[in-house]
Amino acid sequence: MYIGFDYGTANCSVASMQDGQPSLIPLEGEHFYIPSTLCAPTRESVSEHLFRHRNISPIDAVGEQVLRRSIAFNREESIELEADDVAFGQAALDLYLEDPRDIYYVKSPKSFLGASGLHDVQVSFFEDLVCAMMANIKSKAELHTEQTIKEAVIGRPVNFHGRGGDEANKQAEKILLNAAKRAGFNDVVFQFEPVAAGLEYESTLTENKTVLVVDIGGGTTDCSIIEMGPKWRGQSERNSSLLAHTGQRVGGNDLDIHLAFRQLMSPFGFGSKMTTGIEMPITQYWNPIAINNVEAQKDFYSKANLSALKLLHKEASEPDKLARLLTVYNETLGYSIVRRAEEAKIALSSDTNYRTTIDLLKEKIGVDISQQQMIDAIAQPKSKMAELVKEAVRQSGTKPDVIFMTGGSARSPFLRSAVEEILPNIPVVSGNYFGSVTSGLARWAEICFK
């Protein structure tokens, strides 16, 4: 059996072809979309879980080293790992929100895969993370379909990481490929996510059109200009129909992070001063919420930074606010703050004002955010997304007949209006914001594997 597999930054989903049409497969109860999250007793538990409870071994010497260290660490901590100690999706998020102190939690590992400067051990660990999530999804899909799934077309962004170029893309794709193979997929094909979304839209066309696909996902924004329609439908070779691709690691997560930074970090001392009159260092407020940046998270939660935070607390003109920032450090609350920002962003797409509450365990902080404040906060990532649209049009040398917008963040009326300003008087359409990529991947899987 073959599937289309959208291993997304925010959510994952899979689909098979049924009677000529893509059909999404439930992965979490009756839900088709499972959040791209994982939690475990310790970071080291992920590698041991694969080996002990999934019967998935490392594929090289570095992986074996990571596994040995993981098992040794858990033994030293007296952790006897049970099969259900590693949780995925909504269950992982619920465990994190319930008690962020005592678990290892990761959201959107796809954001890290193209990061520059990763050591072999880090790459191997990310492969384990992705493999664990893929193996969980594969087993859920097989349980529902009662079939063994051996082939998959997996979606990938045009560019995984903005600064790493082609090497970053190769690194990320290799991690995905190794993880998928270890999870049990015998044959794996990659397809650009905006192309996949376009294939789903193409199924509705009765005449040939030039289509601009704008896919704004959780981690990346990708644009493709593609010739589509009855002339191309079902063809396995269509390179000449692909007129332009642009992509960058800027997506819904970045909107959430920028909103959190501008509107939710003041209670923690952002913008306040030390007794000397010097403003608090900006990085201490950016790094804890930069959940898609490996180095930022590593720097903030390092032991050296704890000493720096304690010193800032002593020298702060508003020490109570710095005490809260120390709580963020001690309780690993960065993800929780970004989650509140995401909820505010969604609400402010239609409401003019929104009040969120940040739970610091011993204290709850209410923050009011206006729609205009949200618009101002996301201006930088929105501008980057707009530039990708402009560059795709420039590369193609043509204007599209229609714009197809997909991805969870494409629901934002502010992002939609930004695209309309660049290309006025061109119709903007959308389908299933979350499922178009998955459905298109299943259509391509039928062409590849049937």
- The dihedral sign for the CA sequence 32, 35, 37, 41: negative
- Fill in the DSSP letter of residue 272: -
The per-residue pLDDT for 164 is: 63
The per-residue pLDDT for 361 is: 81
Q: What is the pLDDT of residues 1-14, one digit of tens each?
A: 999 999 999 999 99
Q: Assess whether pLDDT exceeds 80 at residue 193.
A: yes
The per-residue pLDDT for 162 is: 55
The per-residue pLDDT for 243 is: 97
Res. 55 pLDDT band, cuts 50 70 90: very high
Overall average pLDDT of the 49-57 stretch: 97
Give me the DSSP letters along 349-361.
TT-SEEEEEEE-S
Overall average pLDDT of the 227-247 stretch: 93
Cα→Cα distances 303→160, 265, 321, Å: 30, 22, 20
Q: Assess whether pLDDT exceeds 60 at residue 106.
A: yes
Contact present, 159 and 220 (Cβ < 8 Å)? yes
Q: What is the pLDDT of residues 119-135, one digit of tens each?
A: 999 999 999 999 999 99
The per-residue pLDDT for 117 is: 86
Which helix (H) or strand (E) element contains residue 39?
A: strand 37-40
Overall average pLDDT of the 300-305 stretch: 96
Overall average pLDDT of the 323-347 stretch: 96
The one-letter amino acid at 69: R
The per-residue pLDDT for 163 is: 63
Q: What tokens were used for 249? A: 């690691």
**Exposed, middle or buried: residue 273 (CB in 10 Å: 0-12, 13-18, 19+)?**
middle
The per-residue pLDDT for 98 is: 83
Q: d(Cα 441, Cα 450) in Å, to the nearest integer?
A: 13
Q: d(Cα 204, Cα 202) in Å, to the nearest integer?
A: 5
Cα→Cα distances 383→77, 93, 407, Å: 47, 31, 17
The per-residue pLDDT for 116 is: 87
The per-residue pLDDT for 108 is: 86
Residue of higher predicted confidence among 156 and 99: 156
Overall average pLDDT of the 197-205 stretch: 95
Beta-carbon contacts of 246 under 8 Å, excluding residues fewer than 6 positions away, are 158, 222, 223, 388, 389, 391, 392, 395
Q: What is the pLDDT of residues 75-103, one digit of tens each?
A: 999 999 999 999 999 999 999 888 777 88
Tell me the three state secondary structure of residue 270. coil
Q: What mean pLDDT value characterizes the chain?
A: 95
Overall average pLDDT of the 422-446 stretch: 96
Which one, of 9, 5, 8, lies nearest residue 25 by Cα?
5
pTM, two decimals, is 0.90
The per-residue pLDDT for 294 is: 82
Res. 449 pLDDT band, cuts 50 70 90: very high
Overall average pLDDT of the 418-431 stretch: 96
Domains, the chain? 2-185 (3.30.420.40), 207-430 (3.30.420.40)
- The dihedral sign for the CA sequence 35, 40, 42, 46: negative
Q: Assess whether pLDDT exceeds 60 at residue 250.
A: yes
Residue of higher predicted confidence among 117 and 378: 378
Q: How many CB atoms lie within 10 A of CB 350?
A: 9
Give me the DSSP letters along 276-308.
TSPBPPTHHHHGGG-TT-HHHHHHHTSHHHHHH
Q: Assess whether pLDDT exceeds 70 at residue 413.
A: yes
Res. 396 pLDDT band, cuts 50 70 90: very high
Overall average pLDDT of the 243-268 stretch: 96
Contact present, 233 and 211 (Cβ < 8 Å)? no
